[in-house]
């Protein structure tokens, strides 16, 4: 081991200015025994650095190499495994745990002892020595580095270097002194024993001189000892003072700890108070309803514009308070629960008040409208008066009553209706049903009287006046209608028996209205002669012009007032027609042809253009056109991709040809871009189908000329191709002989039958496709002729059929089928 230690010091550590203090031969625990050495080293330069170095013997030579080094300050635990029994295993805990097995227990103990001494001398850190015998952990004298003279070798143990290190290398000064001494003695090398005796004699002389010097300095030694005694007394006094200071500082430390703990509690309390304040502010800001809003909800005037605005703002504020997103735990607070219950009570109370008020408004408007209606029809129902004179006298016009004032008054409540819809859908639905019931009864009466006036204006006689002789008087009729309304709307959420009665009455009125329309239609067909037809057309046009704005105005009002466009059950903008397109299923056994939704679009567009061509709402129709045509385009392509019986190109070609023909016939200006797109798709898929179906009818000839073109592409001149063995004139003639006119006609006939199976009869594109195939075949023929003329000039080689033959073949095939 000494020789190994000397070699390691010389080869590895001396070049790095390090001294090797201890070494242990180890291998990793639980693995094959690949021995290495753990070395404890210190640097020769200050500040001293202590390391544990792993050294391994090279596999290719008798020398050692340094593998890894750990700083001793990074060592956390030294585990000797067993403090009593001898055990060669031990662990070193650096950044991870390294498990080692020493070659002997003595080497392990010496290495651990050295580590402990180095830690005590240089680091003074808390390295845990676990399962280590107390005999190995000896206390070192407290010697500071400053107390050791510079230039002298300092041992790890503070003077007892032999106990730790058996070998110590000479420094440069020592080597120089030995060399000078040996140079002064001629036989220092030839006679080592004589040289050693000489050195021994000189050492004895020096020892004697040293003893005499010590004895001569006894007085100084005594003085020094006395000074040391005095110094010890001073040290004792200082230690006493330091002890008292330490006790004082200990009490101060305890007080500071208490203050620190108190400050921590104060800081924690402040933090909690801040958080609590934020939570309270959040609840107050988001769940506090102003007193003015509460008063508006409970007592606000729903008849005046200012009161409606105040109630609307209060209702919105209430809804915001009720919909606030509470943080976790808020819903467990009693105050929050109480506030939520208060909001719920306010909402319920205001919803009842609002529903009752709106229902009263509906009744008042209906009553007022009935009074106006009976005032209008009173003059028509007076017995004994001539109807034509009455009309002339009172100037009764063929017009429907204007409901705009009613709509204007109700639209003030539109926001409140939206609020009611989102908070209490039951009451909202009840109001909707009541309004629709009142409205249907009112319109039935108004339209019935409107048609009666139209009939009177048309006939100009008193025959029809007898029908009105039995009408009730104005006061009793209005009273009866009003009482029935109040009876049916007493409770919005109550029984529906009243509504059922109203619906029965309404159905009767609808039957009478229908009879009026029928009577008018019969008039136009039988009672009128040709001379009165112009008058009838004028009156009928006036009737329609009155009905259209009335319906549109009422539809617009209902949408705005009841917010029907936002109803969750309303369908989206993907329409029923488009959904039906997506659900179309095609047969797997028959050819596709014109798809049903393509034909339906043609029918729809033709009907719509005949009715709404010059209508005021033409823009809405154009929007519908755009959505429908895009749906048609997308779903035609979808069906074409899914088709199994009919080729994709045929489905696309036929249907887009049909769409193009429809748009060209109807001349719909907003669909010009789609018409061009349909034509392009039709043309592209026609060409694709022709090329795919025709393929290469002269297949072998085509392959032959592909080889010719390949040779030309490689750099061979066209007129020299015939000198190639595989493409000479004889080979060309062989290929041409395989395609006589009879075989060509037979192949074209089979192709015609194949195309006929694919195409549908309703679109009649067979001749168009056949003509395109004829043109494509002729193009291939001309291409072959051109290659023969360029690559085989003067050869006299020609095809066995001509272009005129191709035209005759195609024509005769088309006529025979």
Q: What is the pLDDT of residues 564-607, one digit of tens each?
A: 754 433 344 475 777 778 777 777 777 888 898 898 889 888 88
Collapse the DSSP code of 623 into the 3-class scheme (helix H, G, I; strand E, B; otherwise coil) and give the result.
helix
Q: If you search the block for the tokens 């008040």, which residue do you land on?
A: 353
Burial grade of 754 (CB within 10 A; 0-12, 13-18, 19 or more): exposed
pLDDT per position as a tens digit, 345-385: 999 999 999 999 999 999 998 888 888 777 766 545 444 44
Distance CA 339, CA 288 (A): 8
pLDDT of residue 348: 93
pLDDT per position as a tens digit, 448-486: 888 888 888 777 643 434 343 333 444 444 455 555 544
Ramachandran category for residue 799: left, alpha or beta (phi over 0 → left; psi -120 to 50 → alpha) = beta
pLDDT per position as a tens digit, 737-788: 888 888 888 888 888 998 888 888 888 888 999 999 999 889 988 988 898 9
Q: Are 365 and 409 in contact (CB under 8 A)?
A: yes
Ramachandran category for residue 695: left, alpha or beta (phi over 0 → left; psi -120 to 50 → alpha) = left
Backbone angles phi, psi at 130, to 5 degrees: -105, 135
Give the Å distances, CA to CA, from 392 to 389, 446, 474.
5, 21, 22
Collapse the DSSP code of 188 into the 3-class scheme (helix H, G, I; strand E, B; otherwise coil) and give the result.
coil
Q: Are 598 and 659 in contact (CB under 8 A)?
A: yes
pLDDT per position as a tens digit, 688-723: 998 888 877 778 888 888 899 899 898 889 888 888
pLDDT of residue 532: 66
**Averaged confidence pLDDT in the chain:** 79
What residues have CB less than 8 Å from 658, skipping those under 6 apart? 594, 598, 599, 602, 763
221, pLDDT greater than 90: no
238, pLDDT greater than 60: yes
pLDDT of residue 188: 66
% of the chain beyond a pLDDT of 70 = 81
Closest to 375 in 3D by CA, of 505, 478, 492, 282: 478
Q: Are 783 and 702 in contact (CB under 8 A)?
A: no
Distance CA 311, CA 314 (A): 5
pLDDT of residue 457: 79
Give the Å distances, CA to CA, from 511 to 319, 467, 506.
45, 16, 9
769: part of which helix (H) or strand (E)?
helix 766-791
For the beta sheet containing 89-93, the strands, ordered from the edge strand earlier in sequence to the opposite edge, are 64-71, 50-57, 36-43, 18-28, 97-102, 89-93, 77-79, 128-130
Burial grade of 111 (CB within 10 A; 0-12, 13-18, 19 or more): buried
**Beta strand 36-43 with 77-79: parallel, antiparallel or unpaired?**
unpaired
Distance CA 113, CA 413 (A): 96
Query: Six-digit token pair at 139?
Result: 């206390």
Confidence of residue 431 (pLDDT cuts 50, 70, 90): very high
């Amino acid at each position: 081991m000494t020789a190994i230690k000397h070699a390691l010091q010389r080869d590895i550590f001396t070049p790095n200015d390090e001294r090797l203090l201890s070494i242990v031969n180890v291998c990793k625990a639980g693995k094959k025994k690949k021995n290495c050495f753990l070395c404890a080293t210190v640097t020769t330069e200050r500040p001293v650095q202590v390391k544990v170095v792993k050294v391994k013997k090279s596999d290719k030579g008798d020398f050692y190499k340094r593998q890894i080094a750990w700083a001793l300050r990074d060592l956390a635990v030294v585990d000797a495994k067993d403090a009593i029994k001898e055990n060669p295993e031990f662990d070193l805990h650096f950044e991870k745990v390294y498990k080692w097995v020493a070659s002997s227990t003595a080497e392990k103990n010496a290495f651990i002892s050295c580590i402990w001494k180095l830690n005590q001398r240089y680091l003074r850190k808390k390295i845990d020595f676990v399962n280590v015998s107390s005999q190995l952990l000896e206390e070192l004298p407290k010697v500071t580095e400053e107390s050791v003279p510079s230039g002298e070798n300092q041992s790890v143990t503070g003077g007892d270097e032999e106990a730790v290190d058996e070998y110590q290398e000479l420094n440069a000064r020592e080597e120089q002194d030995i060399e000078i001494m040996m140079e002064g003695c001629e036989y220092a090398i030839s006679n080592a024993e004589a040289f050693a005796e000489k050195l021994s004699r000189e050492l004895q002389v020096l020892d004697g001189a040293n003893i005499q010097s010590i004895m001569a300095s006894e007085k100084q030694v005594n003085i020094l000892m006395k000074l040391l005694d005095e110094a010890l007394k001073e040290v004792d006094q200082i230690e006493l003072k330091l002890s008292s200071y330490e006790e004082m500082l200990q009490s101060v430390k305890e007080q500071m700890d208490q203050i620190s703990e108190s400050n921590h509690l104060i800081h924690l309390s402040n933090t909690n108070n801040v958080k609590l304040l934020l939570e309270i502010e959040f609840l107050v800001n988001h769940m506090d309803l102003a007193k003015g809003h509460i008063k508006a909800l409970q007592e606000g005037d729903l008849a005046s514009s200012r009161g409606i605005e105040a109630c609307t703002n209060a209702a919105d504020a209430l809804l915001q308070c009720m919909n606030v997103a509470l943080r976790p735990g808020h819903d467990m607070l009693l105050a929050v629960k109480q506030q939520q219950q208060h909001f719920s009570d306010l909402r319920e109370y205001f919803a009842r008040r609002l529903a009752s008020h709106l229902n009263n408004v509906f009744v008042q408007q209906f009553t007022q409208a009935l009074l106006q209606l009976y005032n209008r029809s009173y003059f028509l129902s007076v017995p004994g008066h001539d109807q034509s004179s009455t009309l002339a006298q009172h100037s009764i016009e063929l017009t429907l009553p204007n409901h705009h004032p009613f709509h204007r008054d109700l639209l003030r409540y539109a926001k409140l209706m939206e609020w009611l819809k989102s908070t209490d859908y039951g009451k909202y639905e009840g109001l909707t049903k009541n309004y629709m019931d009142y409205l249907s009864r009112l319109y039935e009466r108004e339209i019935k009287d409107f048609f009666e006036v139209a009939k009177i204006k048309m006939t100009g006689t008193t025959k029809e006046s007898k029908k009105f002789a039995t009408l009730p008087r104005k006061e009793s009729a209005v009273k009866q209608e009003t009482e029935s309304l109040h009876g049916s709307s007493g409770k919005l959420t109550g029984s529906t028996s009243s509504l059922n009665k109203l619906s029965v009455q309404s159905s009767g009125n609808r039957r009478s209205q229908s009879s009026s329309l029928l009577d008018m239609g019969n008039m136009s067909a039988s009672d009128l002669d040709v001379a009165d037809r112009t008058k009838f057309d004028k009156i009928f046009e006036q009737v329609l012009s009155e009905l259209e704005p009335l319906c549109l105005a009422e539809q617009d009002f209902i949408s705005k007032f009841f917010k029907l466009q936002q109803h969750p059950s309303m369908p989206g903008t993907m329409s029923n027609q488009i959904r039906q397109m997506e659900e179309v299923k095609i047969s797997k056994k028959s050819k596709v042809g014109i798809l049903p939704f393509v034909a339906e679009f043609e029918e729809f567009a033709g009907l719509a253009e005949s009715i709404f061509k010059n209508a005021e709402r033409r823009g809405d129709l154009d929007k519908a056109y755009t959505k429908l045509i895009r749906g048609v385009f997308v779903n035609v392509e979808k069906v074409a991709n899914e088709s199994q019986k009919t080729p994709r190109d045929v489905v696309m070609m036929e249907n887009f040809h049909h769409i193009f023909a429809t748009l060209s016939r109807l001349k719909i200006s907003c669909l010009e871009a789609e018409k061009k797109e349909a034509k392009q798709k039709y043309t592209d898929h026609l060409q694709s189908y022709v090329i795919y179906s025709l393929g290469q009818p002269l297949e072998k000839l085509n392959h032959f000329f592909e080889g010719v073109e390949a040779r030309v592409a490689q750099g061979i001149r066209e007129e020299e191709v015939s000198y190639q063995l595989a493409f000479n004139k004889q080979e060309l003639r062989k290929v041409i002989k395989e395609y006589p006119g009879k075989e060509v006609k037979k192949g074209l006939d089979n192709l015609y039958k194949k195309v006929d199976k694919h195409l549908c009869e309703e679109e009649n594109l067979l001749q168009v496709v056949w003509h395109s195939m004829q043109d494509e075949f002729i193009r291939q023929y001309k291409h072959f002729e051109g290659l023969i003329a360029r690559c085989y000039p003067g050869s006299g080689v020609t095809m066995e059929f001509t272009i005129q033959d191709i035209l005759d073949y195609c024509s005769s095939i088309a006529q025979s089928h």
